[in-house]
């Protein structure tokens, strides 16, 4: 999914020439849909789809806040969507127009409603967790553990020091990484308290010498190639790295774990901009996506779980039973989801992040 941070900036051109009836402009994360989903939708409805991709929530947000994007569907993460909704950039979802809306898991919808009251503006596309991807052979060799399932691999300086030589990567995402640090410290991961932030920053600073880089997508290739041996990252990305490593057959192994201390669960949301030129086509697409077989196809392809209960039986068994994709209830119980921060906290967070990264 979150691939090539820069390509996103460069490819920011607006969706192709729309305006004629019968088109739909979608703006989704890169590598985040099954190969045939769009083709099937086009064949069935006769609607021409312009499909653009991005790789960072921040880029989407900047475009949405500028306005006139020409997109009919965008897929921001929930906490970003919630804030953009406050700025009035989305139109409410017409649930009555979506026949398959009832397929959505009420448990998931209730969690999402904490950030999107009454599920007004968004329909969950895929769900992800933020855990640890690692190279079992190299990690075992250095830490002498058989089943690495703790954030201590990363946050305990003694353990991180032993892994530094084979490469540790962190997401370049201040909110997600400090939330993980807060959770590891036993503090509220959604805290906006300055003292809490200082503690999280101190923890991250203590392991800073052992971090090779901060990047939100590079670890996919690097884990697969064996260029890093531990990465905090998005579940589906790490599982894609696992598969690439298997396909390459170079003897590199990659595993994903949702550590026992708990992890962040996130939701990428289908939302319709208030100035979307074809909102009725957007609703048709959302309805199409919520068909059990279509949701299942996408999960099978991208290794992210969907919130479509009717789709779960249709998802490949290997995907459905993978605890990294569909976590069991006892793991789910320890998960937390992010909230949008106020601007002052965001500034303090970005500043602390720069200090952690550069020492300035």
Partner 1 sequence: MSAFLSRFALRGRSLVTAVPLLWLGLFFLLPFAVLAKISLSEAAIARPPYLPIWDWADGVLSFAFNIGNYLFLIEDPLYLMAYLGSVKIALISTAITLLIGYPMAYVIARAPQHRRNLLLMLVILPFWTSFLLRVYAWIGFLKGNGVINNVLMWLGVINEPLVMLQTDFAVYLGIVYSYLPFMILPLYTALVKLDEALLEASADLGARPFSTFWHITLPLSLPGVIAGAMLVFIPAVGEFVIPALLGGPNTLMIGSVLWNEFFSNRDWPVAAAVAIVMLVVLVLPIAVLRRAQSREEEAN
Where along the sequence are the contacts to partner 1 (CB under 8 A)?
5-7, 10, 56, 58-59, 61-62, 64-67, 83, 86-89, 167, 174, 211-214, 222, 225-227, 343, 346-347, 350-351, 353-354, 357-360
Radius of gyration over every alpha carbon of the chain, rounded to an integer in angstroms: 20
Return the structure tokens found at 211. 């971090």
Helix (H) or strand (E) holding 124: strand 123-134
Positive or negative CA dihedral for 179, 259, 157, 209? negative
Give min distance, CB of 228 to partner 1, in A.
Answer: 8
Residue 115 Cβ, how far from partner 1 at the closest point, in Å?
14
What tokens were used for 164?
Answer: 């530094």
SS3 50: strand
Specify the residue, 4 or 310, whose C-beta has the smaller distance to partner 1.
Answer: 4
Which ranges of 30-164 would DSSP assign to H, the alpha helix?
A: 37-45, 57-66, 78-86, 106-113, 136-143, 152-155, 157-163
To partner 1, the closest distance from the beta carbon of 51 in angstroms equals 21
- State the nearest-atom distance from the C-beta of 170 to partner 1, in Å: 9
User: Position of tokens 């279509």?
Assistant: 294
**Cβ-based nearer residue to partner 1, 6 or 20:** 6
Q: Contact, 274 vs 64, CB < 8 A?
A: no
- Which tokens sit at 264? 């962040």
| 51/46 Cα distance (integer angstroms) | 15
Minimum Å gap between C-beta 233 and partner 1 is 16
Minimum CB distance to partner 1 smaller for 42 or for 165: 165
Q: In terms of CB distance, is 30 or 300 closer to partner 1?
A: 30
- Pick between residue 246 and residue 293 the one whose CB is nearest to partner 1: 246
Instruction: Give the residue with the Cβ less far from partner 1, 30 or 309.
Output: 30
d(C-alpha 25, C-alpha 76), whole Å:
15
Cα separation, 250 vs 140, whole angstroms:
19
Least distance from partner 1 to the Cβ atom of residue 43, Å: 34
């Amino acid at each position: 999914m979150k691939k090539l941070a820069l390509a996103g900036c460069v490819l920011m051109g607006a969706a192709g020439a729309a305006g004629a009836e019968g088109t739909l402009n979608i703006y989704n994360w890169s590598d985040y849909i099954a190969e045939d989903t769009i083709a099937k939708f086009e064949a069935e409805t006769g609607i021409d789809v312009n499909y653009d991709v991005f790789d960072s929530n921040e880029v989407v947000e900047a475009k949405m806040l500028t306005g006139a994007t020409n997109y009919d569907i965008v897929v921001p993460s929930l906490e970003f969507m919630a804030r953009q909704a406050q700025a009035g950039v989305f139109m409410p979802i017409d649930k009555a127009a979506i026949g398959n809306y009832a397929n959505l898991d009420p448990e998931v919808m209730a969690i999402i409603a904490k950030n999107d009251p009454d599920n007004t503006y968004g329909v969950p596309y895929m769900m992800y967790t933020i855990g640890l991807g690692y190279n079992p052979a190299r990690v075992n060799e250095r830490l002498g553990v058989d089943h690495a399932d703790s954030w201590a691999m990363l946050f305990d300086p003694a353990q991180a020091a032993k892994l530094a030589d084979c490469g540790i990567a962190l997401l370049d995402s201040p909110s997600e990484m400090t939330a993980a640090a807060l959770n590891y410290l036993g503090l509220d991961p959604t805290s906006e308290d300055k003292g809490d932030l200082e503690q999280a920053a101190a923890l991250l600073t203590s392991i800073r010498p052992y971090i090779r880089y901060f990047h939100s997508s590079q670890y996919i290739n690097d884990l697969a190639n064996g260029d890093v041996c531990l990465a905090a990252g998005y579940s589906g990305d790490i599982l894609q790295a696992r598969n690439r490593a298997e396909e390459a057959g170079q003897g590199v192994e990659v595993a994903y774990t949702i550590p026992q201390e708990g992890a962040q669960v996130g939701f990428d949301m289908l939302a319709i901009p208030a100035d979307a030129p074809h909102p009725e086509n957007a609703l048709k697409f959302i309805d199409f996506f919520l068909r059990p077989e279509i949701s299942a196809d996408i999960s099978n392809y991208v290794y992210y779980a969907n919130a479509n209960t009717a789709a779960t039986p249709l998802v490949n068994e290997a995907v459905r039973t993978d605890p990294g994709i569909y976590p069991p209830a006892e793991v789910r119980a320890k998960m937390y989801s992010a909230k949008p921060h106020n601007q002052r906290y965001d500034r303090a967070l970005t500043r602390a992040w720069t200090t952690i990264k550069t020492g300035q």
